[in-house]
Amino acid sequence: MILLSVSPEVVAESDRSPYAVRVEDLSITYRTTFEKKPTLKQAITRLGRGQRAVKEIQALTDVSFDVKVGTAMGIIGSNGAGKSTLMRAMAGILPPTTGKVEVWGKASTLLALGVGFNKSLSGRENIILGGLAAGLSRKEVEERADEVAEWTELGDFIDMPMNTYSSGMGARVGFSVAVHMKPDILMIDEALSTGDAHFREKASVKMAELRESARAMFLISHGLSSISEMCNECIWLDKGRLMMRGAPDEVIDAYMRHVKVKKSATALEEM
């Protein structure tokens, strides 16, 4: 979990802007290295060492859209489409290769459940750390810690080290921290796919509450039914390009036709 905060000046400016996020001509290219398999002659001359090669991966290409205040935006697409890359760019974690991203307001970003937690500390201690990372004062964090801990419904486990937690228990803590920091903009990547049915329903209700109070919400999920229920707009990415933007049901239908999958309850939960 990664929580971001901005200066009071930026928050003040956000109150005047009709937009929450604006993305213009965004392209992101990764450079990665890999070991090329050497030929017998190369292995002998290089004493068995392989040769490092550089490969460029175009994660996003010329993506542009703006998001007005009050929008709950779903982001869909197949694995490798660039969804998480886009979210990380909007969160300020990945710099654009070209283009720009503008964000107005304080963002609470849940990109990967449990990432950023100190697993040797208890759930309650990580709640406090998460609040401080979000820019809250020590007093504010302490005032909210008990409320967040109770919301997780982990009972006595909340005071046990997180390295004793299951993935679902860790998800409860991560989600609870993100949604209780009163963010202007909430960005969540696959958070609702982890946990039992009771937790997912409870998380959905909390997301609906945040949609009413936050400037904007972004949700990445392979559970297309969650996108349809909780979002009022949707974008579809494919191989790093923006394919479509519109009402969630229209975009989901177009996406499912593209991947040649019939619309069903099972497909909507697992796409």
Domain at 2-19+66-81+101-234+243-270: CATH architecture: 3-Layer(aba) Sandwich (3.40)
Q: Choose the weakest-confidence range: 90-99, 128-137, 219-228.
A: 128-137
Who has greater pLDDT, 110 or 222?
222
Find residue 122's DSSP bridge partners: 161
Which region holds residue 232: left if phi is over 0, alpha if psi is between -120 and 50, else beta?
alpha
188 contacts 203 by C-beta, under 8 angstroms:
no
User: Could you report the per-residue pLDDT of 136-159, keeping only the tens digit for each?
Assistant: 788 888 888 999 999 999 999 999
Alpha helix (H) ranges present in 97-137? Answer: 123-133
Distances (CA, A) of 261 to 42, 102, 255: 47, 35, 9
The 10s digit of each residue's pLDDT in 162-211 is 999 987 888 788 888 877 877 788 888 765 555 667 777 787 788 778 77
Closest CA to 259 of 249, 250, 271: 271
What is the model's pTM?
0.74
219 half-sphere exposure, CB direction, 13 A CA radius: 31
pLDDT of 113-125, one tens digit each? Answer: 455 688 899 999 9
